[in-house]
Amino acid sequence: MTNHFKLTVAALALTLGAQTALAASAIELADPTFAPEGIGIAKDGTIYTGSLTQGALVAIDPKTKAVTEFAASGANGMVTTVGVHVTGDDSRVMACSSDPGFAVHTGEAAPALVAFDRISGDAVGRFEIPGGGFCNDIAEMADGTILVTDSFAPRIYALAPGADHLTVWLEDERFVSQGIALNGIDVDGDAVYFVQYNAGDMFKAEVNADGTSGAVTQIHMERKLNFPDGLLALGDHEFLVVEGGGLQKGARGALTVINLEGDHANLHTIAPDLNVPTTAAIHGETLYVVEGQLDHLFDPEAGAPDTYRILEIALP
């Protein structure tokens, strides 16, 4: 990212001091059962998000905000659609399919990374998670290698260009945990960064010259992150982390900018009190944030969700 964009993020922090900025624009998803989680954006601005409950993907026109089906419920073995990623060459939409037990297609297919042709919507690949697990978030390295976090096993998987299966890129016993562990992931320079949802921590994995994982270092922070979900690299060791806020009734989340100085982080929350946000993406001068409202899926006492939204925040 350019210095201009870093200045834009700093200005955004000031702009979002008023909650009215967040209410200015949002894409609403009419289906009250859709439950979005991940987000990916193509070069032409088309937005893709998936359904946790239906195992489906929709495409959204950023100008008209029209929502259309991209991949039908259950297509390519999708059960619960979690992380979404548009490949760097703009050719494929990739998604994590997992099975936490509440989707309409629960039990029908194994957890996997799935791929669709971005133009036709045809299924073009399905790569099962070794040993099961929970495919959660997706990132892409400079050479086109796709990285995937597993929230139920202490692993990050890799799909090399042209490969027909996932391999273990990183395995570290410190991430063995009950519940949702490894989550958001992104690449910045010559390192891979990722967050641990249930522990509130962030880590850095060096990338060796041959593309394999190197040393893993925990980032030192002034506080724990509040159930960190999506992670977005902004460049020059700056990140946007989506703090989900948890899975219990009444949970609220936030957007926080992380500035790294070596292995130490400075945190600055730029948008508090969001409705359990999950992921974020930037296209042009707009930041898009999915409010997944996960508490309404995981806590029966939370009741029905509000209208599902993708916030549109104009970068100043």
- Phi first, then psi: what are they for 111, rounded to 5°? -60, 140
- Per residue in 29-72, pLDDT (tens digit) is 999 999 999 999 999 999 999 999 999 999 999 999 999 999 99
CA 182 to chain centroid, in Å, comes to: 11
The answer regarding whether domain 31-128 maps to CATH 3.40.640.10 reads: no
Which has more pLDDT, 141 or 6?
141
Specify whether the CB–CB gap between 277 and 232 falls below 8 A. Answer: no
- When pLDDT is averaged across residues 142-156 and rounded to a whole number, the result is 98
What is the pLDDT at residue 253?
A: 98
Least confident of 5-9, 91-95, 272-276: 5-9
State the pLDDT confidence band at 177, using cuts at 50, 70 and 90.
confident
Pick the CATH number of 1-30+134-283 from 3.40.50.970, 2.120.10.30, 2.70.170.10, 2.60.40.1930: 2.120.10.30
Chain-wide mean pLDDT for the chain?
94
| pLDDT for 102 beyond 70 | yes
- When pLDDT is averaged across residues 119-147 and rounded to a whole number, the result is 98
Rounded to an integer, what distance in angstroms lies between the CA atom of residue 150 and that of residue 181? 8
Specify whether the CB–CB gap between 161 and 170 falls below 8 A. Answer: no
| pLDDT for 14 beyond 60 | no
What is the pLDDT at residue 20?
A: 36
State the pLDDT confidence band at 22, using cuts at 50, 70 and 90.
very low
| pLDDT for 23 beyond 80 | no
State the pLDDT confidence band at 178, using cuts at 50, 70 and 90.
confident
| pLDDT for 1 beyond 80 | no
What is the pLDDT at residue 150?
A: 99
Residue 201 DSSP symbol: E
Can you give the pTM of this predicted structure? Answer: 0.94
Rounded to an integer, what distance in angstroms lies between the CA atom of residue 4 and that of residue 214? 31
Least confident of 8-12, 52-56, 110-114, 235-239: 8-12
What residue spans define the domains of the chain? 1-30+134-283, 31-128
